[in-house]
Amino acid sequence: MSVTDRPAGPGRLAGASDELIAAAVDQAALGALLPALAHVTGDRGLVPVHLRPNPDDFMDPQGGLSPEQLDEARTLAAAALRGLRDGVRTRVAEPPVDDEPLRPLAAHIVGDAHVDAYLPLLLEELAPEGVDRRAPGWHKDEVAPGTDFRVGIVGAGMSGLLAAHRLRQVGVEVVVFEKNHEVGGTWFDNTYPGCRVDVPNHLYSYSFAHTTWPQHFSDQATLLDYFRDFATDTGVRDHVRFGTEVLGATWSDDTRTWTVDVRATGGDEDAAVETVEVNALVSAVGQLNRPHLPELPGIEDFAGPWFHSARWDHTVDLTGKRVAVVGTGASAAQFIPAVAEQAAHLVVFQRTPNWLAPTPDYHDDVEPETAWLQAALPEYADWYRLWLFWRMHEGLTSAAVVDPEWDQSATGSVSLLNEMVRLGLVEYLEEQFAGHPDLLEQVVPTYPPIAKRIVRDNGIWARTLTADHVHLVTDAVEAVTPTGVRAGGVEHDVDVIVYGTGFTASEFLAPMHLTGRGGVDLHEQWDGDARAYLGLTVPRFPNLFLLYGPNTNIVINGSIIFFSECEVRYLTECVHLLLSEGHRALDCRPQVHEAFGRRVDEANATMAWGASSVNSWYKNARGRVSQNWPFPLLEYWQLTQAPDPADYELT
């Protein structure tokens, strides 16, 4: 699992036939394979400028290389691989002492215009030679020997595990409270059929814990295994208190500590509450943690089984049943096709259609030849990650930026680029629903692309909705009756109802009660509009850090793990600031917090997700975009390198 767990040394290519090499090269992303080979051999001739992909062509899987360029690149790559196999070429014996040799290799992917600004970030993502470049560069024993400092972490999902690992690396004691009996967070809770990651897996993984992924977009069980293994391999598992729910926490200005109230999960009101004292508290509860059920009249009266997608009831056999699904978001789009395979009759209640991103390999295993290449040449997997990182990051959001001169009333798009994307996506829907004009009318969104999350599709959505036993209803759901769902005045009798209706995303940290300085309650201070400086810190709540907090979500550009790694670096550097300077607490200055909030709001208003009035979980009850980060990822990375002491009141 870790980057150091690689097949040993030279000879990994030994025995590979020319045919295997050719087949693997045929399938490879050449924009990643050539830099990987240049990295391994030290031969910069393997990344000639005339074979560089277009760093801004995110649509073409090979970055816009022409057939001739592809031929030449493949010939070059296959010859280099054969050369390595035959010992004609050799691996560079020592890792480079500085990053300069890697610059032209990174430029091969991102172009000369971007490489200077991005190189350090890119090399962290690449983790060349298996080096974890985001590992903290300090240890408590050196900066504050003998000082006790304990951090409580709420949640053992992706970000909580990461925080615990990093803090343990610097010698800080951690205790992780997890309400479930296993780690994994969202990958533990969501067991609905068809659940899989919708970010390519080679990117959706910790930068320092690459692994071999069996699928391009792995399923829930594979992801859960990854996080389980991570918890075990890093030793973090031993510091998790499973089955423990955090009810709240109170800050004391006298002791400069948080007193955390915990109770066994599911315990009744009278069950004993235990208190645990920590110096800092980290919320790693995620944004998509607590299921949202719609406030529909009669929802409790339905006579048959009903449940939410994140609490899937596997005791209910859907085979041959009449099933209703309410909601068609990213979760429902994954489980509706699986339910359709079992149900005798399926009614899908859609309020807002999705834009679909054509993703032919969405459900596919990694091809055997590609899997072989990634194992035989792990640097290819590394550079492939970087390739994905670049192609899925900054560039994509340019299509979400609102052009104030653009006439939005015509098609709903927000700029010429957004309109071009829209036309491409409409074309895809037209292809998919050819011969079904009524359905097509129902599934083409009227809001701009990137105002909501775009759902990946390999053709399964149209195959499902056009099946004879599947019925799409776009009338508003009015009520649930004992026998089914009423929409548009029509009763749809069913045996089972599944709600794919999302999460109470903008109710950050609910239902925990946090009491900060002077007895202030966090939820009262927020008053329904959660905000945090950098998504991380809140004035009057010293030493409280939120991971995946307000305004740190991304709509289409990349992996949320990138954000967590930035946040956790900031957290560990805050702890460093406290320990190295002998402080006990840091409290974000209100004016810093407010100025940040204003900037974020102004920027979100200029993005498709802020400008559009379409329903989305990105906005809170006040209509503010409380979830999304509107700036480049590079900026978040820069801002979270370390805290600026001037931003905090240090005590």
Contact positions toward ligand NAP, by CB under 6 A? Answer: 196-198, 288, 294, 326-332, 334, 349, 351-352, 453, 477, 500-502, 615, 617
Q: How far is CA 275 from the centre of its chain?
A: 33
* DSSP code for 354: P
CB nearer to ligand NAP: pick between 276 and 326: 326
Contact 203, 558 (CB under 8 A): yes
Q: How far is the CB of 501 from ligand NAP (least distance, A)?
A: 4
Quick one: CA dihedral 388, 56, 457, 285, positive or negative? positive
Q: Least separation, in Å, of the C-beta of 338 and ligand NAP?
A: 13
The least CB distance from residue 551 to ligand NAP, in Å, is 15
CB atoms within 10 A of CB 272: 8
Please say whether the beta carbons of 459 and 432 come within 8 A.
Answer: yes
Using DSSP, state whether 497 is helix, strand or coil.
Answer: strand
CB-based contact 296:487 (threshold 8 Å): no
Q: Of 497 and 536, which has the nearer Cβ to ligand NAP?
A: 497
Rounded to the nearest whole angstrom, what is the least distance from the CB of residue 188 to ligand NAP in the complex?
Answer: 14
Instruction: Give the span between the Cα atoms of 234 and 104, in whole angstroms.
Output: 34
Query: Based on CB atoms, which residue is closest to ligand NAP, 187 or 383?
Result: 187
Task: Enumerate residues 6+ apart whose C-beta is below 8 A from 301.
Answer: 480, 481, 482
The nearer residue to ligand NAP, 591 or 613, going by C-beta atoms, is 613
For residue 500, the minimal CB distance to ligand NAP (Å) is 6
Report the residue number whose CB is nearest to ligand NAP: 329
| Least CB distance to ligand NAP at residue 400 (A) | 15
Q: Is 215 helix (H, G, I), strand (E, B) or coil?
A: strand
Closest CA to 508 of 628, 626, 412: 626
Q: Strand 513-515 vs strand 244-252: parallel, antiparallel, or unpaired?
A: parallel
- Indicate the residue among 157 and 329 with the shorter CB distance to ligand NAP: 329
Tell me the two tokens of residue 126. 């690449």
Peptide bond into 511 cis (omega under 30): yes
For residue 282, what are its two tokens?
């980290």
The nearest distance, CB 598 to ligand NAP, in angstroms, is 26
Nearest approach in angstroms of CB 296 to ligand NAP is 6
Which residue's CB is nearer to ligand NAP, number 500 or number 539?
A: 500
Q: In whole angstroms, how far apart are CA 617 and each of 212, 435, 613?
A: 33, 33, 12
Of 145, 143, 166, 163, the C-alpha closest to 154 is: 163
Residues 81 and 37 sit within 8 Å (Cβ to Cβ)? yes
Q: What is the largest CA-CA distance in the chain?
A: 75
In the complex with ligand NAP, which residue's Cβ is closer, 203 or 276?
A: 203
Smallest distance from ligand NAP to CB 459, Å: 17
Q: Which is nearer to ligand NAP, 156 or 203 (CB)?
A: 203
Nearer to ligand NAP, 349 or 548 (CB): 349
